[in-house]
């Protein structure tokens, strides 16, 4: 959990600039019109080249509530307390000064995307926070066969420099749809290179390897440029020569090799790439041209179709070759290292058996290009000539056929593995024309007969090295709860996805803000039920703190405001791990039966705008929740209550607190500058009155509006007030009303007030350090209990446990002729030579995205799966571990690595991108283990791993 200090930007930061009343452009239509106008726009399909805008999801959700956008959430639509204020994207910025985006933002969870027309309407109606620039991004096209469009939220950062001064690097961001010519134009401008000077660009992707970017019309994506890539611009000398030797002499003296991919297809089928200049260690060569069979019909604009690698000091052990991280590609590297260390598959490619089996005409395949690219990469890894390679061509090929992997955002190693196994299978499918097969129901036939039929049918359409090695057979049994109809089917699988036993509880870190103003807030770690309610959180916290649960209000604080105030019956699944949860102690009603009302109070600093002479406000500090008796709800009493609440960190000079009583009504306004009247006419933000209205005296009986004010004391002490009150929306970003002293205020529960300070007063009186100070309860300091360890067999048993289908996932019973919530059971009928086990660590729901970091104990040797195979005639299924894909960190972020056993020397190694190191078996079983690779022992070996030998292809179905 972030500390309280972590959620407060620096004073004066632009991230919290709230627009003053009146911002927001033209007249704002009512909620129904806003819904009608924006609804179709938000459903607009993506089209390449168009601009879309990012909007912070918290602001957008507030807007949806305000206008009643969702039919199931119309309560409170049009309520001014829900008014979202100006568009505020401060929560998306990692650096408020440069307004650069935070890393790893997730669509719909952190931001929403709106098209240009919708953005323009929102800006016209609500305005933007002063100083914030719109976050606009282009729609780009991905995919070779199936076109796929997405908004490129994260631009590619390239490091630009001149060849004559490679140490002077300037970072610039480009779209993957930009061309190399765009980069050249930008570099000419940055380095003041005259238009008449001839230049050429070089791509530096290792310490001593350069490639010329010769095709200026190639896109950044097609050129294979990746995050952080160094691009040099070289200017031709006056004598007509190129100063290549000058900058290349500064590079490493280590030798570098360029391995070109070979073409397996006819040269007449595809366009060829023209000869490409590749310079390594000062040598220039234009000597090789290569066929672009890997790049797609018509060529892709690549300037080089080579794997570039670095020799180690001496020849390395085959297979012990790292893979360079091309920019968030550790997920790919982890999956590739696991597959590379799967002996039967690697031997198949190293022995060139794939060449005779490439299926270029399979409509479900990728014209053999994925198989070709994978084969070349495997040959480099197992050549023993280098310590690492850069899998750029393979990465680009994968992205061309699977657009979800084309960018440089973190992906899932298991998802890439599933795509790669399927892609290799279709590229290497020996079946050239798949026959049509009609599925038959079991109809009471013996399982062995139905299973044999299912497997034979599968092989009639699917026959490849992937099927030989990785495919097994499930048995699925469905039973109708009404008519007891039993349906048995057998289906092939390529990997087992095993559920992990769900935790029954979760740990939450919350901060308790006590009612006693002198008591610093205290951070607690509480244990709550995983599917519990807010009331469960309060009960757990009450046991640790002694504060009665009924006196607690649970809130989510975000950017100095209450993002959400929870009800006791709301589910804890609404609270995500990254949320800052503050629990406030509120006083119980007094014994005299007085009714109390709880108010939200925000701190704001009044500032002058840079762009105009009008005043703006900045939110700061920790918001307050105060409980005030309704009959004492006056500005005077509010002032004294707030003074008491903030007395720990705001120190007032005592002599200035009170002066002599003031008898002249209308002149006793201290420093707040607001005249009193018998009644205050309210200002509404419902589209008609945008400007500040004058405060006039009217008959209280005829007043209407959000807040009513009644007559109070005529005589009161004249205070020197250091802050003033305003009635604001729930986000604290827009004023609904100014407040006049001396009147009884009738406010709703959790109405939001702002206390406004001028900059000098805040600087003199507000102790920032003490305001942010908090203490840690012993529960935070105690070592967390060791997480329960789960055995792999527990996951398998959970997978094979009978379950009842959910109401949203029924089964159509052919007897009942209707959908039923049947019971379903999976069993394993037969298992493959290589058993891939995917531990389902990531869970998703509407409100919750989580990673289960439970330690799963899995055997390194002797995993006996025989007891889980329901075929009574099956042989022994004993497996030994050969590889593990690891994931460290939280969902959507983190890092992937791999452990793998080298097939040559039977030793374990740890693969971390380009680094390879020796590993021991006791390091392998960790909470990071994500995908496990097991190799089946031969039937005659049960106590030790099998020696290297040829095994027959195919799956044992007996």
List active site positions: 330, 895
DSSP string, 726-788: EEE-TTSSSEEEE--TTEEEE--TT-EEEEEEEHHHHHHHB-HHHHH--EE-HHHHSPPPPPP
Residue/partner pairs of 807-813 with CB below 8 Å, 24 or more apart: 811/478, 811/480, 811/487, 813/480, 813/482, 813/483, 813/485
The residues, ordered by sequence, that sit 6+ positions from 833 with a Cβ below 8 Å of its Cβ are 344, 468, 469, 470, 935, 936, 951, 955
> Distance from first CA to last CA of the chain, Å, rounded?
54
- In whole angstroms, how far apart are CA 843 and each of 799, 802, 824, 849? 16, 21, 21, 6
Contact in structure between 602 and 623 (CB atoms under 8 Å):
yes
Tokens representing residue 476 in the block? 């699925």
Contact in structure between 905 and 318 (CB atoms under 8 Å):
no
- In whole angstroms, how far apart are CA 776 and each of 512, 523, 645, 833? 10, 5, 21, 53
Contact in structure between 82 and 62 (CB atoms under 8 Å):
yes
- In whole angstroms, how far apart are CA 779 and each of 520, 581, 599? 16, 16, 30
Phi, psi angles (nearest 5°) of residue 116: -55, -45
Q: Round to whole Å and give the CA distance between 777 and 540.
A: 14
For residue 140, the cross-strand partners are: 150
Contact in structure between 57 and 655 (CB atoms under 8 Å):
no
Tokens representing residue 111 in the block? 């931001």
For residue 619, the cross-strand partners are: 604
Phi, psi angles (nearest 5°) of residue 105: -70, 145
- Cα angle 352, 356, 359 (rounded to 5 degrees) comes to 120
For residue 308, the cross-strand partners are: 258, 390
Place of tokens 């390529």: 494
Phi, psi angles (nearest 5°) of residue 886: -105, 145
Q: Round to whole Å and give the CA distance between 949 and 958.
A: 22
The residues, ordered by sequence, that sit 6+ positions from 942 with a Cβ below 8 Å of its Cβ are 876, 878
Q: Round to whole Å and give the CA distance between 18 and 320.
A: 56
Contact in structure between 388 and 322 (CB atoms under 8 Å):
yes
Q: Round to whole Å and give the CA distance between 673 and 210.
A: 68
Contact in structure between 873 and 448 (CB atoms under 8 Å):
yes
Q: Round to whole Å and give the CA distance between 740 and 761.
A: 21
Q: What angle do helix axes 413-427 and 369-381 make, rounded to 10 degrees? A: 110
The burial of 441, by beta-carbon neighbours within 10 Å (0-12 exposed, 13-18 middle, 19 or more buried), is given as exposed
In our burial notation (b when 16+ CB lie closer than 10 A, e otherwise), range 46-73 reads eeeeeebbbbbbbbbbbbbbbbbbeeee
Helix (H) or strand (E) holding 373, with range, is helix 369-381
């Amino acid at each position: 959990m972030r500390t309280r200090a972590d959620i407060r930007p620096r004073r004066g930061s632009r991230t919290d600039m709230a627009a003053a009343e009146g911002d927001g452009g033209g007249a704002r239509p009512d909620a129904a019109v806003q819904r009608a106008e924006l609804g179709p726009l938000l459903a607009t399909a993506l089209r390449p080249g168009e601009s879309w805008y990012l909007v912070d999801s918290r602001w957008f959700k507030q807007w949806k509530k305000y206008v009643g956008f969702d039919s199931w959430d119309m309560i409170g639509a049009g309520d001014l307390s829900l008014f979202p204020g100006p568009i505020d994207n401060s929560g998306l910025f990692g650096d408020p000064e440069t307004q650069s985006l935070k890393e790893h933002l997730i669509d719909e969870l952190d931001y929403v995307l709106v098209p240009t027309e919708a953005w323009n309407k929102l800006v016209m109606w609500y305005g933007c926070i002063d100083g914030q620039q719109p976050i606009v991004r282009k729609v780009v096209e991905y995919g070779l066969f199936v076109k796929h469009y997405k908004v490129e939220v994260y631009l590619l950062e390239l490091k630009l420099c001149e060849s004559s001064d490679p140490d002077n690097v300037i970072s610039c961001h480009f779209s993957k749809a930009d061309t190399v010519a765009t980069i050249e134009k930008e570099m000419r401008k940055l380095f003041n290179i005259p238009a008449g000077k001839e230049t050429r660009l070089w791509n530096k992707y290792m310490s001593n390897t350069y490639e010329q970017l010769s095709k200026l019309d190639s896109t950044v994506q097609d050129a294979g440029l990746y995050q952080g890539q160094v691009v040099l611009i070289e200017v031709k000398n006056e004598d007509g020569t190129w100063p290549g030797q000058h900058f290349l002499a500064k590079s490493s003296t280590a030798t570098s090799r360029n391995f070109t991919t070979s073409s397996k297809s006819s040269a007449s089928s595809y366009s060829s790439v023209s000869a490409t200049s590749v310079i390594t260690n000062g040598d220039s060569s234009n000597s090789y041209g290569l066929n672009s069979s890997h790049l797609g019909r018509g060529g892709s604009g690549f300037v080089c179709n080579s794997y570039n690698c670095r020799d180690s000091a001496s020849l390395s052990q085959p297979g012990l070759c790292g893979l360079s991280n091309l920019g968030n590609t550790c997920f790919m590297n982890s999956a590739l290292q696991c597959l590379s260390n799967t002996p039967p598959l690697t031997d198949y490619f190293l022995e060139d058996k794939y060449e005779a089996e490439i299926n270029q005409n399979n409509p479900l395949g990728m014209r053999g290009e994925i198989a070709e690219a994978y084969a070349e990469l495997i040959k480099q890894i197992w050549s023993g000539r280098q310590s690492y390679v850069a899998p750029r061509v393979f990465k680009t090929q994968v992205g061309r056929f699977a657009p979800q992997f084309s960018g440089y955002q973190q992906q899932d190693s298991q998802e890439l593995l599933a795509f790669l196994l399927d892609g290799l299978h279709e590229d290497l499918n020996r079946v050239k024309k798949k026959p049509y097969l009609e599925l038959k129901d079991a109809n009471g036939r013996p399982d062995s007969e139905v299973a044999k039929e299912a497997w034979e049918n599968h092989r009639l359409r699917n026959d490849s090295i992937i099927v030989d090695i990785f495919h097994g057979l499930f048995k699925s049994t469905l039973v109708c709860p009404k008519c007891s109809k039993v349906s048995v089917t057998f289906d092939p699988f390529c990997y087992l996805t095993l559920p992990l036993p769900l935790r029954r509880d979760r740990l939450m870190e919350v901060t308790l803000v006590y009612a006693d103003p002198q008591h610093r807030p205290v951070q607690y770690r509480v244990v709550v039920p995983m599917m519990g309610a807010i009331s469960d959180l309060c009960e757990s916290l009450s046991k640790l703190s002694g504060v009665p649960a009924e006196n607690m209000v649970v809130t989510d604080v975000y950017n100095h405001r209450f993002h959400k105030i929870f009800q006791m019956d709301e589910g804890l699944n609404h609270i995500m791990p990254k949320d800052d949860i503050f629990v406030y102690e509120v006083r119980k009603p007094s014994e005299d039966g007085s009714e109390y009302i709880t108010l939200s109070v925000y701190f704001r600093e009044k500032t002058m705008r840079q762009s105009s002479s009008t005043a703006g406000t900045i939110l700061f500090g920790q918001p307050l929740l105060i409980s005030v008796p309704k009959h004492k709800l006056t500005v005077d009493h509010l002032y004294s209550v707030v003074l008491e609440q903030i007395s720990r960190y705001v120190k007032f000079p005592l002599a200035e607190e009170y002066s002599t009583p003031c008898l002249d009504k209308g002149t006793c306004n201290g420093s707040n500058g607001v005249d009193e009247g018998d009644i205050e006419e309210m200002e509404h933000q419902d589209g008609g009155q945008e400007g500040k209205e004058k405060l006039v005296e009217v008959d209280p009986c005829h007043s209407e509006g959000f807040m009513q004010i009644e007559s109070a004391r005529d005589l009161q002490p004249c205070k020197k007030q250091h802050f003033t009150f305003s009635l604001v929306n729930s986000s604290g970003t827009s004023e609904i009303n100014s407040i006049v002293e001396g009147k009884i205020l009738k406010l709703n529960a959790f109405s939001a007030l702002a206390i406004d300070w001028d900059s000098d007063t805040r600087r003199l009186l507000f102790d920032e350090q003490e305001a942010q100070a908090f203490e840690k309860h012993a529960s935070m300091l105690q070592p967390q209990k060791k997480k329960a360890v789960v055995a792999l067999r527990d996951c398998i048993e959970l997978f094979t446990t009978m379950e009842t289908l959910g109401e949203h996932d029924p089964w159509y019973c052919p007897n009942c002729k209707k959908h039923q919530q049947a019971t379903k059971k999976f069993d394993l009928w037969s298992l493959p030579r290589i058993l891939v086990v995917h531990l389902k660590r990531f869970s998703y729901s509407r409100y919750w995205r989580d990673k289960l970091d439970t330690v799963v104990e899995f055997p390194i040797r002797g995993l006996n799966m025989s007891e889980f195979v329901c075929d009574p005639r099956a042989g022994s299924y004993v497996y030994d571990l050969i590889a593990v894909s690891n994931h460290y960190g939280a969902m959507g972020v983190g890092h992937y690595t791999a452990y793998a056993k080298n097939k040559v020397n039977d030793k374990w190694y740890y693969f971390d991108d380009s680094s390879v190191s020796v590993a021991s078996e006791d390091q392998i079983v960790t909470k990071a283990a994500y995908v496990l690779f097991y190799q089946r022992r031969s039937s005659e070996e049960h106590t030790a791993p099998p020696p290297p030998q040829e095994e027959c292809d195919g799956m044992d179905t007996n």
